[in-house]
Structure 1
């Protein structure tokens, strides 16, 4: 027996087709996120599918990572091996259709991070080399250990410091030759006492303002942002993963300081009353020379008292009266050459033992 459709039913179907009262199939609305969108190569990224499924479950995913690689996983991980900016797309497909989300320039991969202690050579005018050493990000204990021999009150409390970014710092203190290559005009040490004529000895008789002017000029010459190291960066670089008084150990009996540092016993007491040629003493494990003795090194930040609280990327107060100096000088005893030791002077202060090294 055959059944015929009634005319009213056909009309009803046509009405449903023309108006929104009847359900329609909805395609997915593709979307995604990443746990990180920038970093040095190799950069491992975890992608997460955030697609709204629509009227049907998503059954297929097609990821294009922008470097020629793709994936069909829902939540893939991908490692970018080369520096660059990458556009990422996700196409999600269900029984109701497909939809694609594209994020232009979503992933930025920078050059690979150097190895700890890696050296970079920057050529200054006149073919004068400036050697920079890479110090990695990390966590360290800043300040003197309780009961440390020779410690001063402002080296406490010892506290945890996190540096979230690695940085470049000078392998040596800035020399007279490097100063002359960068700066115009008379050298600040000319006509002053207690200086060496060796062009590879540290530039001295420098105020903090002199050092800031040098880093500004160096930045213009090289196109890179040079500066003085922050005090926390200086101690991180000087310690090179150690927790002792010096980077070569506690040396309570002063048995090894002479082969690691220029200090009062092998300069002033020996009749050599000046800062000595850089790089002649044993470096620390990052490869940095003269982080103890030779010249006091200006730091970027204003002097401030420590607190016990952990800190991240400390730069000190915004204003102050005196700038921090670190490392001790050729005319100092061993206590003043310790890694935790700190002093401070007004920015206009200078003598035969004030110098610096650069950072960026």
Structure 2
């Protein structure tokens, strides 16, 4: 299986040399959008490169059976054909990755923020994206223009990490479905791609065709289950063995951790794709509106219902105490305005033809 690390750079840098008469001086020429910016290297303190999108892996198209006959809202089994390659984040989006993106969005005027909440400011929308007032939120805003990270003061986090912890690599929490899809839009804007979610009304993805979107988006319900069970109809991302604390962060005989763990703390599963934490740690939002009965008829590139009151989320979390909640086919639901200390997300993107 080919693994793809998507590194998106805001600039393509070409370093040139200029020699003056009498004294040798170095200049850096930065070429972009048909123009050139010039800098004296003696005046440049440092040059840094940052990755806009989290690391992603490629999932090829294929056919699988969605549902396993037992999981909640996964009782129905039907054949699903996915016709497009897609990228999906190797791990859930982290606090640091979300902080970097929301700081950029704030600086650009795409969001507004107070010390208690981050609100959307695109297309006239004012939906809540991130609830900073909750104890579980490890991203904070200083009220003067800067976001920063903190350890959660919740009793769960403090009990799990009595000596302290670095929240940077923990999955972002207290993010609504709207906050998840806006993160995808921010990645698209930074990469010069069309936004997948254009409309504040129903927030449809690419006018109801997520597979045809050029920009970043959430994985569809089918894509997420397909990636989690790759590629042998396994019950759990690691196989058919029952969950335990060596395989996932959840509640086994008591809490495995009692709070989130840094992404990638558990063996990659499915190992062939190299995905991490597809079960446990945090539940993850999907693109689709939720409906429990998916039927038994074969379907190609399913997009879910055209409307609804709740969005799909799956995968189980650090706070899940039922083993089947961690199954590939388990399909939970929450209102898109909902946020929690055990709900996060990972981004996806269709591979360009």
CA distance in 2, matches of 1:237, 1:137: 10
CA distance in 2, matches of 1:122, 1:239: 28
Q: Deviations over 1:109-138 (max 9, x none)?
A: xxxxxx543333345897256201100000
Deviates more, 1:343-352 or 1:194-203: 194-203
Runs of 4+ in 1 over 6 A off after TM superposition: none
Alignment of 1:2-13 (within 5 A): none
In angstroms, what is the RMSD of aligned CA positions? 2.2
| Cross-structure match for 1:84 | none
Equivalent residue for 1:237, pick from 217, 221, 227: 227
| Cross-structure match for 2:101 | 182
> How many residues were matched structurally?
236
CA distance in 1, matches of 2:61, 2:343: 28
SS at match of 1:259: coil
CA distance in 1, matches of 2:232, 2:247: 15
TM-score, normalisation: structure 1: 0.61
Any gaps of 5 or more consecutive residues in structure 1? 1-114
CA distance in 2, matches of 1:294, 1:308: 31
1:133 aligns with 2:57: yes
Q: Is the 8 A contact 1:128 1:177 kept in 2?
A: no
Equivalent residue for 2:260, pick from 275, 295, 302: 275
Highest CA radius of gyration, 1 or 2? 1
Q: Decide which structure has greater strand share.
A: 1
| Cross-structure match for 1:193 | 135
Alignment of 1:1-360 (within 5 A): 115-122=1-8, 127-128=50-51, 130-144=54-68, 146=69, 148=70, 151-152=71-72, 154-184=73-103, 188=130, 190-194=132-136, 195=152, 197-224=166-193, 225-252=215-242, 254=243, 257-265=244-252, 269=255, 272-283=257-268, 284=270, 285-304=272-291, 305-333=293-321, 334-360=323-349
Structure number with greater CO (CA < 8 Å, separation at least 6) is 2
Any gaps of 5 or more consecutive residues in structure 2? 11-47, 107-112, 119-129, 137-151, 158-165, 194-214
Q: CA deviation at 1:157?
A: 1.5
Q: CA deviation at 1:180?
A: 1.1
TM-score, normalisation: structure 2: 0.62
